[in-house]
Structure 1
C-alpha cells in the first residue's frame, strides 16, 4: 500500500465516523409534531419546554353594563355533597317480539314478528300463537281517546293501514287458557302527501327552515352541565349557540312556556283576549302554531305525563285539535291501557308498557322529521316532564338516551333542514339543590340552545353573528317568541305582531342592547339574576324584612276568598335575608342601612314547615313592605299541603286547614 494512503488513513477514518454520526443525528430528528421519548430523568424533554396557557375559568354567564350573571361551577364543593348521579333503569329485559319498520317505497309502516323471540317466550318451536292489535284514535273530546276498536289480527309483514295512528298490541298462545307472550304499544306519524296548490308548485323562495323544539322540564344550564356532560359537549358543536343570559320570566312551566308560544303572560292574556282558566280560551289565543300553519308549515305537539301537561294542569286544555299531529289522546290511552311503573319516591309515571315514557315523545319527534323535514317545512314542540321534574339529578340517568336522540336526528339528516331549540322552562324550583347558595340562579336560568343549519348560516350570516353575540347578553322568553315569528317572516310570511307583553323585546337574530336591563326584557325583579345581593348579618334587621311579607300573604288569601280554606301563616324562622347592592357597590364596601331598599328574604313558616322566597321593597322607617305575592317562590314541595284548592298559583302559598300537620 502507498505510504501516502497509510499516512492519511486516520484522517479518512475520522471523517467517515463524523459523517456516519451526522447521518444518525439527522435520521433521529422527530418528524412533524412527534417528540423524542426521553427516559433520562436528568434530560429536559422538548415537551417540558412547551408552555401551555391555562384556560381562564369562566366567571360570568353575562357581564354587560347593566347585567352581571355569575357563572356557577356545576361541580362546586357544596353541590358535590348532595349530588348523586342516577343509573338508567329500563322497563323490560325482554327482546322485542314485534317491531316496526317504515317502508319508504310504500310510505307505510310494517309490523315484523321476531320468530326467535317468539320461540324463546313460548319455550317451544311447535306451539302456535296469535298477535292482534287495537287501534287508538282521537276521541270526540280532543284531549282524550276514543273507545278502542275491535281486535285486528296480524302476521309478520303486516302493513299498517294509513288511518291507524296508534295501537296497543298483544301476542298470546293460541290454545286456551291463553298465555300472554308480550304486550306493546306504538304511535305513528302517518305520512300525508302535500296537497298540490299554486304556491307549492313554485320553489320556496326564500327557503323556509323547519323548527323543532326539544324540551326538558326543570333543567337549568348549570344542572345540564352537571348531569348531562356528554349532551353539553355535543351542544358545543358547530352551529349551536347557547343563550347563557336566558332568564325565565315566571315561576313554573305554564307562564314560561305560554310566554314563548303566545307572547303573552296569563294576566295580560286575561285582560286583552281571554282567561286561560276558561275552556275555549286557548283556541282564541294567537298561539305560535297558528302562525306556522298559516305559513304552510306542518305542525306537531307532544308532551308526556298528562296530569302535568302545560295546557291541562289545572287548566281546561284544548277543545279543538291544536296542531296537525297531536300526541295527548295517544298518551291518555298509554297511561290507562298499559302497565304503568313509577320509580320509588317518584310521583310521575316512569314506564308505560315496555318503554320509558319519554321514548314515546322523542320517537314521535324523530318520525315527524323523518316523514317530512326533507320535503316541506315543519314546526313541532316535544316536551318531557317525567324524569326531570321531581328529582334534579335524574337527568344524569337519561343523558345517553338524550344524546342518542340528537345523534339520530343528525344521522337522519334532519339538522340539514332544521333550526333546533333545545331548552327548558326553568331550573330546579325546590329541594336540596334549591337550598344551596347557587339555588337562586339554579331556578331562574333554564338551559337554552339554538342550532342553525349550515345553509341558514351561509345565507344569513348577520343572523348567525347576532346569535353568537347574544349568547352572553340578557334575553328572555319573549325574545324567543319574537325569534319564532322572525323565522316565519324569513320564509316569506310577512311581518307579524311581536310579543304583546314586551314591546322592547326583539328577535335574537338581531344584536341585543349591551346595556339591557331586566325591565327591558320583561323580567320581573323577583326573577332577575342581573344584580348582586349581599347577606345581612344583622338578624333583627333580617327578621323585620321577613315578618313584613307574611301579612301580605294572609291578605292575599282574604282577597281571593280563600281564608276559610287556607291557614293564616306565621313566621317560624328566617333562612337568609339579602339586600340588593347594585353593580356599583364592591363586596368590600360596608352595607348602608338605607331607608328603602330591595330585599330578597327566604323564610320558613310554622304551618307544615313551608319554605318561601320573596323579593320585597322594604322601608326601614315605616316598616312598609311592597311585595307581589304571586311572584313569591315556594322552595319546598307543596303537593301535600294544598289539596283543598285548584287555583294553580294560590296552591303555592295555601296551607289547607284540612292538610295542616300537628
Structure 2
C-alpha cells in the first residue's frame, strides 16, 4: 500500500512527465538530424574487423539503412538510387577475375628494412619445373629502364645485367625488365617479368626535428568511371570496408564536367581548362602543365614527398590529346616506367573490352599502379609526410561490371595499408572522376545520376579525429551536402596549411569556384549547384519530369542539333565532320522546382524553361544528351555544345580529329557508316 501511494505521488508524476518530454525532444532532434534517411530498423554498421563477407553478399541494403536521399536540403535533393533495381538485375552479371598466367613466379622481389634495399629472388623449384627437371643451365638478367630527356619518356633499356639469387638491387635502379633463359644456343625463354622499385630516400637533415604541428600524409586511390551506385553494386566487400570507423562518404559529391581530364584537373589545380587558358596557359600547349600551380607543388613546398602513377600511358590524364609534362613533376613519377613496360612486355586485352590492356606481362595492368602506390606509402609514411595519387582506368572505364572481378584485389590493397599501419598516419581519399558515361546503365531512369555521382570517400586517422574534432564534425555534416571537385581542391590546400606555422601564408583557393571551401568547414545548408561551380547540365539537385513525345519535343532536339552544326563551323571542322540530323528523340524532360516531385505528372506552362533532351542522330546512330534553355515562343535554344554528353561510344566515329572536346560530337566523313 505504501509503495503504491509513493508511485502516485504528484512529484513523481511531474518527474515522469519531464522524462517523457525530454525523450520526445530527443527523438524529434534525432529525426531532424537524420532527415535524409528512412529507417527500417536500427542496424549497427560494420567495423573493419567484421569484414567477413560472403561471395554473394547481395544486396547490401539488407545490411545498411534504407535511404531516400543522398542529399536533402532546402536547395538540393539528390535521390538515393537502389543499386539492385529489377531493371539493373536483368542484365547485371558479376564477373570472374581473369588471371594473366598460371605459372608461379620464377623471379620475385623483397624489400629489406634492415638495409633499406630491394633484393631479387630466384625460385629454384619453379626453374626446375620450367626446365622439366633436366640439367639444362639457365641465366637470369635484367635491363634497367633509362629515363629519357623529357619527363614523360624513357630512352632505352640498358645492357644486360646478370644476377643470382639474393642480388641486391642498386639504389639508383627504379625499374627493370627481367628475363631468364637457357644457357645453350639458341636460348629458350623461361620467363619474362618487370619490376619497379620505390627506392628509399633518407630524411633530409632539416626534417629530422619534430614539427610543432603534425602533418597528415595524403594518399589518393582512384578508379575511373565508378559511381557510388556502381561501387555498391559491383564491390560490396569494398563498400563494407568503407563503412568502417574513420571513413566518411561524400554523398553529395557531384562531378563538374563530362570526362576525366576536366574533373581531375579541377581537383588538382582549382581551375577549369578554359579559365587556365585565360589566366595562366593553354593546357593544349607544350609546357603548360609544368607552369600550372598543381596541388603537388604545394605539397612539395610543404616538405611532402610526392608520387604519382596511372595506367594506360596513351590515355593518361595529362597526355591523352594533351602534351604531358616536360619536367619530372613529382619525386616518384611512374609514366616513363609504364611506357617502357608497355613497349617490352606481352599484353592481353579482353575480347569484349579491347581498348585497354588487361594484362601487361604476367600481371593485371592495374597491379603495377597500385603496387607502386603501396610501396611508396609503406616506404615513407612512418617517417615523413607524403602525398600520392594512384589511378587506374583499365578495368572500369569501358565495362561497368568488370570492377566486380577486381574487388578482392582492391580490398586487399586497402587491408594491406591498414595492416601496415599506414592508415594511422594518412588521410586517404578513395574516389572516382565520374560514373559510367555510356551503355545500358545510362539508359535507365537513374542513368542521369549514375553518370554524375562519382564515389568519394575520405578517411581520417585516429590522431586527426582526436586533434581536430570540429573538422570531423564538419565532415560528418558535409556527407549529406552538395560538394564538388573544387571543394576537394580546397580541402587538400587546407591539409597543407594545417602543418604550417600559425603565421604561414594562406594558400589560394579554387580559382574557378570562389564560393567553394574546405570540407573541414560546414558547407551551407542552402547550397546550390552554381555555388559549387556545377553547371546545370551536370547538376543532380533538382528533378526533371518526362514530357510525352510530340512534334514540339522533336523541335527542341533539332534546335540543339542546329547549335552542334554551328559548333563545327566555328571550329572549322565542316570538311572533316558530317552535318548532324535527327533520327529520333529518346526522351525529353523539363526541369522543375523542388516542390514538384520527380515523377509528378503536372507540366508547368512557361515561355522559357530548362529541358533535358536525349536523342539519336542519323549519322552512325550517335546518342547525345543535352541540357538546354528553350524558348517555346521563338523556338531558339541556348546550349553550351561542349557540355553536351555523348551517351554511346565515339571511339570509331572521330578518328579524323585530335581535339578532345570535339571528338565527342564529330562523326568523321571517313568514319561514316552506311
TM-score of the superposed pair, with normalisation by structure 2: 0.89
Residues of 1 paired with 2:475 and 2:596: CA distance? 31
Alignment of 1:440-459 (within 5 A): 440-459=448-467
Task: Identify the residue that residue 557 of structure 1 maps to in structure 2.
Answer: 568
Task: Identify the residue that residue 614 of structure 1 maps to in structure 2.
Answer: 626
What is the CA deviation profile of residues 395-442 of structure 1, one whole-angstrom value per residue up to 9, with x for unaligned ones? 000000000000001111100110000000000001111111111001
1:422 correspondence with 2:466? no
Residue 231 of structure 2 is aligned with which of 221, 224, 228?
224
Q: Who wins on radius of gyration, i.e. which is larger?
A: 1
How many pairs were matched up? 610
What is the CA deviation profile of residues 467-490 of structure 1, one whole-angstrom value per residue up to 9, with x for unaligned ones? 111000000000000000000000
1:375 correspondence with 2:386? no
What is the CA deviation profile of residues 547-586 of structure 1, one whole-angstrom value per residue up to 9, with x for unaligned ones? 1111100000000000111111000000000000110224
Residues of 2 paired with 1:589 and 1:383: CA distance? 43
1:107 correspondence with 2:116? yes
Secondary structure of the corresponding residue to residue 573 of structure 1: strand
Residue 629 of structure 1 is aligned with which of 620, 629, 641?
641
Secondary structure of the corresponding residue to residue 286 of structure 1: coil
Residue 313 of structure 1 is aligned with which of 320, 338, 348?
320
Residue 478 of structure 1 is aligned with which of 486, 496, 499?
486
1:379, distance to aligned residue in structure 2 (A):
0.2
- Structure 1 residues 398, 504: closer, same or farther in 2, change over 3 A? same
Residue 530 of structure 2 is aligned with which of 508, 519, 527?
519
Residue 596 of structure 1 is aligned with which of 561, 586, 608?
608
1:566 correspondence with 2:577? yes
RMSD: 1.2
1:408 correspondence with 2:416? yes
Residues of 2 paired with 1:114 and 1:558: CA distance? 64
Task: Identify the residue that residue 532 of structure 1 maps to in structure 2.
Answer: 543
1:125, distance to aligned residue in structure 2 (A):
5.1
1:452, distance to aligned residue in structure 2 (A):
0.3
Secondary structure of the corresponding residue to residue 156 of structure 2: coil
Task: Identify the residue that residue 139 of structure 1 maps to in structure 2.
Answer: 148
Residues of 1 paired with 2:593 and 2:574: CA distance? 38
202-211 or 124-133, larger mean C-alpha shift: 124-133
- Structure 1 residues 538, 343: closer, same or farther in 2, change over 3 A? closer
- Structure 1 residues 104, 58: closer, same or farther in 2, change over 3 A? same
Secondary structure of the corresponding residue to residue 467 of structure 1: helix
Residues of 1 paired with 2:594 and 2:276: CA distance? 34
1:172, distance to aligned residue in structure 2 (A):
1.0
Residues of 2 paired with 1:181 and 1:494: CA distance? 58
1:543, distance to aligned residue in structure 2 (A):
1.4
Alignment of 1:37-436 (within 5 A): 57-124=66-133, 126-197=135-206, 200-346=207-353, 347-436=355-444
588-597 or 290-299, larger mean C-alpha shift: 588-597
What is the CA deviation profile of residues 71-114 of structure 1, one whole-angstrom value per residue up to 9, with x for unaligned ones? 00001011111212111001010011111111111110001111
Residues of 1 paired with 2:604 and 2:308: CA distance? 52
Residue 655 of structure 2 is aligned with which of 622, 643, 646?
643
What is the CA deviation profile of residues 267-316 of structure 1, one whole-angstrom value per residue up to 9, with x for unaligned ones? 00001100000000001100000000000000001000011100000000
1:588, distance to aligned residue in structure 2 (A):
4.4
Residues of 2 paired with 1:580 and 1:96: CA distance? 58
Alignment of 1:7-26 (within 5 A): none
Residues of 2 paired with 1:538 and 1:552: CA distance? 21
- Structure 1 residues 509, 53: closer, same or farther in 2, change over 3 A? closer
Secondary structure of the corresponding residue to residue 488 of structure 2: helix
Task: Identify the residue that residue 437 of structure 1 maps to in structure 2.
Answer: 445
What is the CA deviation profile of residues 324-375 of structure 1, one whole-angstrom value per residue up to 9, with x for unaligned ones? 0000000001100000111102210011100000000011011101110001
Structure 2 portions without partners, runs of 5+: 1-39, 44-63
208-217 or 131-140, larger mean C-alpha shift: 131-140
256-265 or 116-125, larger mean C-alpha shift: 116-125
Task: Identify the residue that residue 56 of structure 2 maps to in structure 1.
Answer: none
8 Å contact from structure 2 (residues 549, 585) kept in 1: no
Residues of 2 paired with 1:593 and 1:609: CA distance? 33
Residues of 2 paired with 1:119 and 1:387: CA distance? 35
Task: Identify the residue that residue 47 of structure 1 maps to in structure 2.
Answer: none
